[in-house]
Amino acid sequence: AETALRVSREKFESLVNSIDGVVWEARPSSNAFTFVSQKAEHLLGYALAEWTSGNSFWADHLHPDDRDTAIRLCSEAAARREIIRLEFRMIAADGREVWIRDIATVNEGPDGDLLLRGVMFDISEQKKAEHEMDLLNQKLRDASREAGMAEIATGVLHNVGNVLNSVNVSASLAVDQI
């Protein structure tokens, strides 16, 4: 039985640690992580023990611009026992911003307390690509606007040219008549 339990645990740990994201569990009452997979260390550069040692690791490492909103949305969804889907930035050990997509469910633990269980994915490259796409779209809008203005200017110049040509012909006829 012990061997079967050990093999089952090793299989579970292997499965959890092979996911390209941080599998985690936390208590919403204290915001304390009770478990994080090994990918956590790779994600932000903090040791696994730092993730689970206190009650505020997540909140303390949220980007200041995202902190209040992420905590509020997470708390509200947990209170309603809804699936939590958030995107926010965290600050890595080396100071860089890491965009995170977090998906979690609210579960009842064996002691009756609520538990949040989820997966965090690094979406920094996706956010960078979205930002570059936004910049390219803005350049395209600007070029399109300039092309439209150039087309209008071409039309106006053409019409002015037609009027001037008519004036020139009329002036020539008037000179010939005189």
From first to last of its 178 residues, the chain has per-residue pLDDT tens of 888 888 888 888 887 887 889 999 998 877 789 999 989 999 999 999 999 987 789 999 999 999 999 999 998 988 899 999 999 999 999 999 999 999 999 988 788 788 999 999 999 999 999 989 999 999 999 888 888 888 888 888 888 888 888 888 888 888 888 8
The pLDDT score that the predictor gives to residue 90 is 97
pLDDT confidence of residue 122: 96
Report residue 112 as tokens.
């009756």
Predicted local distance difference test score (pLDDT) of residue 119: 96
> CB under 8 Å to 16, separation ≥6 — which residues?
23, 37
Q: What is the pLDDT of residue 16?
A: 82
Q: What pTM was estimated for this model as a whole?
A: 0.73
Q: Which of 22, 25, 12 is nearest to 108 (CA)?
A: 25
Q: Note the helical H segments in the chain.
A: 2-18, 39-44, 48-53, 57-61, 64-79, 124-177
Q: What pLDDT does 168 receive?
A: 85
The amino acid that residue 84 corresponds to is: I
pLDDT of 108 reads 85
In angstroms, the CA 45 to CA 25 distance is 19
Question: What is the Cα Rg of the chain in Å?
Answer: 31
C-alpha distances in Å from residue 104, one per residue of 17, 28, 61, 87: 17, 11, 18, 12
- Residue 119 bridge partners (DSSP): 23, 103
